Amino acid sequence: MTETKELRKTKYLNPYLGGVLLGIVLLSANFIAGRGLGASGAIKSTIVATMNTVAPSASENSAFVKEFQGSHGGNPMKTWLVFEMLGVLVGGFISGAIAGRLKFKVEHSPKITSRKRLILSLIGGVLFGFGSQLGRGCTSGSALSGMAVLSLGGFITMMAIFGTAFALAYFFRKNWI
Amino acid sequence: MGPLVVNELISENTNLFLAFIIGIAFGFVLESSGFSSSRKLAGVFYGYDTVVLKVFFTAAITAMLGLLFFSLFGWVDLNLVYVNPTYLTSAIVGGVIMGAGFIIGGYCPGTSFCGASIGKIDGMVFIGGLFIGVLIFGLGYNLWDNLYMAKDMGSPKVSESLGMSDGLFALILIIVALAMFTFAEWAERKFPREEY
């Protein structure tokens, strides 16, 4: 029993080592590209590209698209974050393959059904997607990368994200514990 | 010397290629640290698994110190590194909405891709939600652009705002992080759960 528990405990990287490695990845991004990591920006690029293709005239008049194109000229899919996020899928897959964690499954607390978990995932995703646009970046782009360059906004967004999640944790405890 | 792209030491296409490589490293480290599991991520909010706190703050401090030292050695010009702008209202409101999304959905955008990459269906559905959320923001942009643009403070550094040097702020943040890590280790002993 203890042995199995030990095995289960060691299947992930030590969190402090993981943190240092992630910090080095973030430092490399800043050193090479002069910018931090991100995630939600790649989704925004995809949405802008889709709007340009599906409804070009509406897209041309959209203030949202104009705002994006103002800071990213050219093809919205040929941006740093799109390539980075494609890399994340590859890197995550490689790590999962090495550790033997590749498996199609819905991860949820035994107290809720898979269906409920998926509905909550969808709602959480919608909120996070919307919030990341308002907050000019998500946990990666705004909070983590912002903190590394000492951005005031990065620290504020980080505190707002974690503070709210802590404040609401009690009400959603059945979904996780 | 750095940033290499801004100083035109490497081309734009090389930069995109390196973005892909950096992304692979990013995804690999996230997955190896357990960020592909929503229950592990949510654990930080209940104290049974604080991997998020440990990895997140260790990473932020490592990168922050790295940049400060690189700047000291003259390896990187911090004036050319992008500092996220601060729009006070949207930083708070956006963060609150994201926090709600985090505790309800169990992922953040980066980690949902990481979960999806090893087959987590909840991660894939979360990504679907992200697209819907960004699309809603884009389509209804005129409804909230006042909120989005309110209280533009430029790109201030937190150290400047608090009236201290970058180094002193970094030192304080390290001390705060060490205190949080100690608390996190205590919480994990108090609320033990098996690994997910």
Task: Confirm if A40 and A132 have CB atoms less than 8 A apart.
Answer: yes
Q: Which residue of A has its CA nearest to B19?
A: A84
Q: Give the residues across from B157 on adjacent strands.
A: A151
Alpha carbon distance B34, B50 (integer Å)? 11
Q: Determine, for residues B19 and A83 on separate chains, whether the beta-carbon distance falls below 8 Å.
A: yes
Alpha carbon distance B85, B148 (integer Å)? 12
Reported pTM? 0.94
Q: Determine, for residues B104 and A123 on separate chains, whether the beta-carbon distance falls below 8 Å.
A: yes
Helix, strand or coil, per DSSP, at residue B192: coil
Give me the tens of pLDDT residue by residue for chain B, a chain 196 residues long.
Answer: 889 988 889 999 999 999 999 999 999 999 999 999 999 999 999 999 999 999 999 999 999 999 999 999 999 999 999 999 999 999 999 999 999 999 999 999 999 999 999 999 999 999 999 999 999 999 999 999 999 999 999 999 999 999 999 999 999 999 999 999 999 999 999 888 777 7
Kindly provide the b/e burial profile for residues A72-91, where b requires at least 16 CB atoms within 10 angstroms of the residue's own CB.
beeebeebbbbbbbbbbbbb
CB contacts, 8 Å: B19 with chain A? 33, 80-81, 83-84, 87
Which residue among B20, B119, B155 places its CB closest to the CB of A104?
Answer: B119
Alpha carbon distance B59, A16 (integer Å)? 8
Helix, strand or coil, per DSSP, at residue A4: helix
- Burial classification of residue B190, based on how many CB atoms lie within 10 Å of its CB (0-12 exposed, 13-18 middle, 19 or more buried): exposed
A83 pLDDT more than 90: yes
